[in-house]
Amino acid sequence: MREIRYGDTAVALNPSVRMDKSDPIAAIFIDNPPVNASSAAVRAGLLAAIADAGSDTSITAIVILGAGRAFIAGSDIKEFGKSLPPPELPDVLEAIEACPKPVIAAIHGSALGGGYELALSCDWRIATPDAVVGLPEVSLGMIPGAGGTQRLPRLVGIPQSIDLIVSSSRVEGPRALELGMIDALAGPDLLADAKAFASGKGKRLASQLLPPPARPDDIEAAVSAALAKGRGRECVREAIAAIRMVETTPVAEALKLERAAFQRLRTGEEARALRYNFFGERAAAKFESTSKNSIESVGIVGAGTMGTGIATVILAAGFPVTLVERQKDVLDRAVGVIKANLDTLFRLGKLGGSRTEEVLARLIPTETIAELVDADLVIEAVFEDLDVKTTVLKDLGRTLKPGAIIASNTSYLDIEQLATATSRPADFVGLHFFAPAQRMKLLEVVQCRETAPGVVATAFALAKPMGKLPVLARPGEGFIGNRIYARYRAQCEYALEEGLLPQEIDAVAMGLGFAAGPFAVSDISGLDIAWRMRQSKAAGRDPRERYVRLPDLVCELGRLGRKTNGGWYDYDASGKPVPSPVVTNLITQHAPADRSMRPETQALSDRIVGAIVNEAALIVSEGIARSASDIDVVLVNGYGFSRFKGGLLFQAAALPAQRVADIVDAAQVAVGWGFRRGDVEALLRPLRETA
Ligand code: NAD
């Protein structure tokens, strides 16, 4: 990316803003590395610069631009959680509008949120073709709070603004010009072009323009589409209402109302949760290492459910993939599935401009492992069976070139044992994708005892082009996500035994923030996977452990989920789940006769939260996950927990310590024998401090 530098004649007004008045057109440089986030110092510096240049009779016009990589990539998100230090952004924008000289925003890199609002308050905007502009506040649970909802519609129209703001669009230079979000595109010398553009230009305040005419039907259509997309979120409704003030309310008053809504939303629940999420995902995706392998080609062994999904994402990320499957018919079918997956990604615009055929041309389907000899990384996704995996991994250890990375997608097997099977454990790493791999964002990267840090760093780096969110895990049954899920599921199964029905329990889970309840989910993935696992563990199970037989009984009836047209639920002709009389009957037979023994839904909700928080505390103290916020990232990106609630641990951290202790007690009573207690206060403390 092009970097903008200032010369010796630029004078520092404060640590974050410089001004160069060696020319009648003054240049104000925002200089707050790395991305010129709008901080209090930036705002104060801009205010001083505008006042100075505005009153200097030798200056005819002013260009504002960012030093380094960006104009202003956005506001300092950390500031949103606190009271905003003065001067606030609207004060700066008011000064720019009041400045008697024309002010030109010269944009490169990105101008997002407050950065683009600053540009909107300037008289004109010129940008490099690769610059990105937009108002993404809604994605953080807020609305633009410095005139974005009032100035943008006056440039691009009301319907277009509703779409741009509600979908938090980031728009590149040429499209921004087409829409009217900027006035000109610059060549390689942005400052020179901005100065040339300034010649002959006067003041032109966006806030004083009449919006381009729009038909009422078009406005209504944009509103309906935005509300549907926004699923009733408050910030979406507020954004639409603010934009529509352009039709009804004098701008000075509308700006005040917009600011008030912004202030209310930024300290609200959803914005706090989304900020937590933003920082959590950023922290989770970091892994420091001094070395990294270069990956140019990837191999996958096993073309079943996971192998095809993983092949899809790696092809879509731009790598050639050699896919090894021992059954010819399965291999042929897999190629068809991958093609269909790629077609879907193409339709969604996620193939980076390539056509399906071009991407598919990089796939080499084969039945022999020997063809992987040149691969830099090979992921095995064969059956979840220790003998099968050990054989494949031994073979890979012998076949692959020195230094090639060997990865396993195992969910539950002893991963240290798999590492040893390769005979080169330093090159081995767990890459636990989630189903469907082409859609789920989460990727647990499992660092075993001997895995080289450079191998982990390579996996983290690879996650980005695949559109995955990597979270570091250490070996342990179920790693992070499945281990937590097992405790959560167990609580739900105890409730079945106590007489609650699947639909009642699923409703409790959804009330907590899961997109679907555990019984609806197992109907989708099939009840037989967990059934087989329970059978394989039956011999070693301690008789004192609380074991709920009902899931086995449902399987024994041949009800394995959607694929057998019935599991925990029945399915009507349209595929909609409906409560099953068979399951209801089964549960009623096993439930205690005394209905007062049935848990209240609140009690179940508490037990679920208590069980998850407790297990999370154990997982962090054992070093299997790095932090509570990593676990929330796992729950949100792999298990459908609502990002608008931040995460389940984030929610728990809002409860008083005594209440958390009480709900862990409740979970403990339900589990009975074998419960291990974690230090939940130590887990939640960092979240309480940042929340
Ligand atoms: P699957 O049964 O759909 O596919 C496994 C494939 O591997 C089969 O096509 C089989 O023919 C092939 N295979 C077996 N031995 C082979 C060999 N020696 N050489 C080449 N191919 C061979 O299984 P799946 O659901 O895709 O699971 C694969 C792995 O992914 C398992 O370890 C599983 O635990 C893990 N996983 C599965 C899910 C899920 O939801 N399905 C989620 C995460 C991880």
- pLDDT tens column, 364-398: 999 999 999 999 999 999 999 999 999 999 999 99
**Pocket flag, ligand 1, residue 411 (CB < 6 Å):** yes
Q: Using a 6 Å cutoff on CB, does residue 630 contact ligand 1?
A: no
Q: Structure tokens of 123?
A: 């008289």
Q: Please tell me the distance from the alpha carbon of residue 586 to that of residue 569, in angstroms, as a whole number.
A: 13
Q: Identify the residue with better confidence: 1 or 72.
A: 72
Which amino acid is residue 457, in one-letter code?
A: A
CA-closest candidate to residue 93, choices 209, 241, 259: 259
Cα of 650 to ligand 1 centre, how many Å? 34
Between CA 119 and CA 72 the distance in angstroms is 9
pLDDT of residue 596: 76
Shortest CA distance to 454 belongs to which of 598, 305, 288?
Answer: 288
Does residue 659 carry a pLDDT above 90? yes
DSSP assignments along 506-541, one per residue: HHHHHHHTBSS-HHHHHHHH-THHHHHHHHHHGGG-
Other residues' Cβ atoms within 10 Å of the Cβ of residue 679: 13
Q: What is the pLDDT of residues 549-608, one digit of tens each?
A: 999 999 999 999 999 989 999 999 999 999 999 999 999 998 887 777 778 899 999 999
Torsion of CA 611, 616, 622, 628, to 10 degrees: -160
Q: Looking at the CA of residue 380, tell me the nearest atom of ligand 1.
A: 29
- In this prediction, residues 497-501 reach a mean pLDDT of 94
Is the pLDDT at 78 greater than 90? The verdict is: no
Measured from the Cα of 327, ligand 1's closest atom is 11
- CB atoms closer than 10 angstroms to residue 117: 28
Query: Cα dihedral sign for 487, 489, 493, 495?
Result: positive
Strands 428-433 and 10-14 turn out to be unpaired
Write down the mean pLDDT value for the chain. 95
pLDDT value of residue 599:
82
Q: Is the pLDDT of residue 104 over 70?
A: yes
- Nearest partner of 518 among 484, 545, 542, judged by Cα: 484
Mean pLDDT of 178-189: 97
How close is the Cα of 616 to the center of ligand 1, in Å? Answer: 28
* Non-local CB neighbours of 327 within 8 Å, separated by 6+ positions: none
- Burial per residue of 635-666, b for 16 or more beta-carbon CB atoms within 10 angstroms, e otherwise: bbbbbbbbbbbbbbbbbbbbbeeeebeebbeb
Strands (E), 139-245: 171-172, 184-185
Cα 420 to Cα 604: distance, rounded to the nearest angstrom: 42
| List of residues 6+ apart from 10 with CB closer than 8 A | 18, 19, 20, 27, 29
Q: Could you tell me if the CB of 386 is within 6 A of ligand 1?
A: no
Query: What pLDDT, on a 0 to 100 scale, did the predictor assign at position 1?
Result: 54
Distance 382 CA to ligand 1 centre (A): 4
Residue 82: per-residue pLDDT: 78
* pLDDT above 90: residue 691: no
Residues assigned a catalytic role:
117, 137
Cis peptide before 475 (omega within 30 of 0): no
What CA–CA distance (Å, rounded) separates 498 from 561? 22
* pTM as predicted: 0.91
How confident is the model over 492-515, as a mean pLDDT? 96
pLDDT at 77: 81
76 confidence band (pLDDT: 50, 70, 90): confident
**Three-class secondary structure of residue 458 per DSSP:** helix
Looking at ligand 1, which atom is closest to the CA of residue 307? Answer: 26
Written as six digits, the tokens of 362 are: 């990089």
Check if 384 has its Cβ closer than 6 Å to any atom of ligand 1: yes
